[in-house]
Structure 1
């Protein structure tokens, strides 16, 4: 199968809501990535988190088996440091093989659940 996607990705609209209503972890407010690896190689993903008022954090490392999809909740990223809740952040992602990335957010901070999703921006190398 042909590997599709890009090696470098970025998005600038991260913010994990502090409040959640409903059963955990299913209805915990979160930001999430869906990463598709169509290559025949293991994808080694490195994420770097940028905040408004502090130095970047990372890398956060994730691997994805060949020909697989993996969903990553930012709430679950804790090493080297947990992602700060209720703080604006951006993310730069680099990989060793081409991947496709989608970003989504679920906000359950009130009785009406909202979800938003968009493609990350593929960085031209």
Structure 2
């Protein structure tokens, strides 16, 4: 099967907020937000993340690598370098990749006894790739 490239090099989302409260067993039912990055290219994707907040300066320097023709899913809760993304604080994010990728953000909110799971569409920020 011939490989086809999908995605864009720049993505943005505005609706982030990692829930503070969780119920149920850890780690499966911890409130979290997960980024999924699909790399359909034959090259490794090097993704740089920057987070924006309502009342403080942007924080960048987060780097995620995605192997060629693979998907990588990771919890934003686990990002700690250069600093942890704070819980309960609204944020937005910008992702810049060296190759086109497809991005999805999913929120798992377990603050109440009924589990809520929501997928958030991110915006394809550039029109050139």
- Which 5+ residue runs of structure 1 have no aligned equivalent? none
Measure the CA separation in 2 of the matches of 1:116 and 1:87. Answer: 18
Q: CA deviation at 1:2?
A: 1.8
CA distance in 2, matches of 1:5, 1:117: 18
C-alpha offsets along residues 67-115 of structure 1, whole Å, 9 cap, x if unaligned? 0000021000000000000000000000000000011100000101101
TM superposition shift of 1:124: 2.2
State the Cα distance separating 1:119 from its structure 2 match.
2.0
Residue 118 (structure 1) shift: 2.4
Structure-2 separation of matches of 1:31 and 1:59: 19
CA root-mean-square deviation:
0.7
Equivalent position to 1:48, from 50, 57, 76: 50
Measure the CA separation in 2 of the matches of 1:43 and 1:3: 12
Residue 24 of structure 1 corresponds to which residue in structure 2? Answer: 26
Distance 1:118 1:82 in 2: 21
Structure 2 counterpart of 1:65: 67
Q: Equivalent of 1:36, from 32, 35, 38?
A: 38
Moved over 6 A (4+): none
2:84 matched residue in structure 1:
82
Match of 1:11 in 2: 13
- With normalisation by structure 2, the TM-score equals 0.95
TM-score (norm 1): 0.97
For residues 59 and 112 of structure 1, what CA distance do their matches in structure 2 show?
35
